[in-house]
């Protein structure tokens, strides 16, 4: 049966719903002043483009001057919904946009296969970049990005907003404090509604696989929140049912070995029923020698230790904006909440985890 919503409108609504519990109210977002006016463009409006658009009302020195997308209705929708986008010029060719506009920074979203060429084009023009994930769907392209960013001296980050949200900031603080002891096991989940999907997600050569596409979020959280490194991986991936999705996997599982000999598991699926109250069901559990900290959408953040009974943690640090954090680090030289070496590392891990599934072998990461 056809879905009553278009693919774009459904994904936009789903993303807004998923982000809402982790976002600060607009009046709680800190105002960020920069030393000069920053002219930005959006190269594609799918995925996490909202992470760039939502904070604009608290970024008075940032001007959105241009938007590219192959769908003019998608651009019109962005302009209609965001007052800070009303002056943005629409483009149907991103290369023309980069050639014609005088820019400081580009938000690169769009389809997975076009992301690496777009990032390389921006780097070659010495433009700073905020990119959707993953940066690339092939290791050779990731290596080219690393070379170009270093060669042209540009700043690059990737849209991994989960590590800036309140529950996971608190989880990292708890683990770092030593309350749960040495981390021995990590369990993570991402479960999504399938909904309508674009044609590029149905083909491996343009999608790149479910493990890189959504696994990158949880792999980043697992490393960052636990303070442990992932050093080996074994994965399985498949599509069960839904023949119309062609190459797109709807079930995956990856087993990681931690640098201290512990283990981590990541299970992901696109099997969440449409009747579920939210688009996604994200879960992260970190077990240590003295206790366990866990976050789920329904249960919130909970902690149990040798000295404390299970209880919910309600005193959370404020959520932050990844985009504002990046701007501050680039133009005000403040410490970054997501360093470039972490961006490269997590991209490398998910590509190798996918390789483990394709080769049916344990891979060193």
d(CA 16, CA 325): 20
pLDDT tops 90 at residue 318: yes
Which burial class, exposed, middle or buried, applies to 211 when counting CB atoms under 10 A from its CB (0-12, 13-18, 19+)?
A: buried
Report the DSSP pairing between strands 263-269 and 280-288: unpaired
- Give me the residue label for tokens 């023949």: 243
d(CA 24, CA 26): 6
| Calculated CA dihedral for residues 25, 32, 157, 206, nearest 10 degrees | 50
Pick among 3.40.630.30, 3.40.50.740, 3.30.470.30, 3.40.50.720: CATH of 31-159: 3.40.50.720
pLDDT tops 90 at residue 144: yes
- Give me the residue label for tokens 């688009």: 279
Give the 3-state secondary structure of residue 80: helix
- At 30 the pLDDT is 76
What are the pLDDT digits (tens) for 73-124?
A: 999 999 999 999 999 999 999 999 999 999 999 999 989 999 999 999 999 9
**Residue 66 pLDDT level (bands cut at 50, 70, 90):** very high
**Which stretch of DSSP H or E encloses residue 364?**
strand 363-364
Q: What is the mean pLDDT of the chain?
A: 93
Window from 11-25, 172-186, 275-289 with minimum mean pLDDT: 11-25
Residues 338/325, Cβ–Cβ less than 8 Å: yes
d(CA 215, CA 219): 6
d(CA 114, CA 29): 32
Residues 249/238, Cβ–Cβ less than 8 Å: yes
Give the residue range(s) of CATH 3.40.50.720 domains in the chain. 31-159
CA distances (Å), 336 to each of 156, 218, 325, 340, in order?
11, 19, 6, 9
Residue 133 has φ and ψ, to the nearest 5°, of: -110, 155
- Give me the residue label for tokens 């190798």: 352
Closest CA to 256 of 135, 138, 171, 352: 352
d(CA 231, CA 263): 10
pLDDT tops 50 at residue 22: no
Give the residue range(s) of CATH 3.30.360.10 domains in the chain. 162-318+348-364
What are the pLDDT digits (tens) for 43-60?
A: 999 889 999 999 999 999
Q: What is the CATH number of domain 162-318+348-364?
A: 3.30.360.10
pLDDT tops 60 at residue 203: yes
d(CA 89, CA 66): 4
């Amino acid at each position: 049966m056809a879905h009553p919503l278009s693919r774009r409108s459904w994904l936009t609504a789903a993303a807004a719903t998923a982000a809402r519990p982790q976002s600060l109210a607009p009046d709680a977002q800190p105002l960020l002043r920069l030393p000069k006016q920053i002219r930005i463009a959006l190269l594609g409006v799918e995925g996490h483009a909202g992470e760039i658009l939502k904070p604009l009302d608290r970024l008075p020195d940032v001007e959105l001057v241009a938007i590219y997308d192959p769908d003019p209705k998608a651009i019109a929708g962005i302009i209609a919904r965001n007052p800070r986008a009303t002056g943005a010029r629409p483009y149907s060719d991103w290369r023309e946009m980069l050639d014609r506009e005088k820019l400081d920074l580009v938000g690169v979203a769009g389809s997975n296969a076009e992301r690496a060429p777009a990032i390389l084009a921006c780097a070659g023009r010495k433009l700073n970049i905020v990119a959707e994930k993953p940066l690339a769907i092939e290791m050779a392209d990731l290596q080219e990005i690393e070379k170009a960013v270093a060669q042209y001296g540009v700043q690059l980050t990737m849209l991994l907003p989960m590590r800036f949200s309140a529950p996971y900031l608190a989880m990292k603080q708890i683990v770092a404090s030593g309350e749960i002891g040495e981390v021995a096991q990590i369990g993570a989940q991402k479960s999504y509604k399938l909904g309508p999907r674009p044609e590029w997600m149905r083909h491996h050569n343009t999608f790149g696989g479910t493990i890189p596409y959504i696994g990158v979020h949880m792999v980043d959280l697992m490393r960052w929140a636990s303070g442990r490194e992932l050093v080996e991986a074994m994965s399985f991936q498949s599509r069960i049912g839904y023949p119309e999705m062609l190459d797109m996997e709807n079930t995956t599982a990856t087993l990681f070995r931690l640098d201290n000999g512990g283990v981590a598991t990541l299970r992901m699926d696109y099997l969440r029923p449409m009747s579920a109250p939210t688009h996604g069901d994200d879960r992260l559990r970190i077990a240590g020698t003295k206790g366990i900290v866990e976050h789920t959408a329904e249960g919130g953040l909970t902690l149990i230790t040798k000295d404390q009974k299970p209880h919910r943690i309600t005193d959370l640090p404020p959520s932050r904006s990844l985009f504002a954090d990046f701007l501050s680090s680039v133009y005000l030289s403040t410490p970054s909440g997501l360093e470039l070496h972490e961006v490269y590392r997590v991209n490398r891990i998910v590509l190798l985890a996918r390789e483990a599934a394709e080769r049916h072998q344990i891979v060193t990461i």
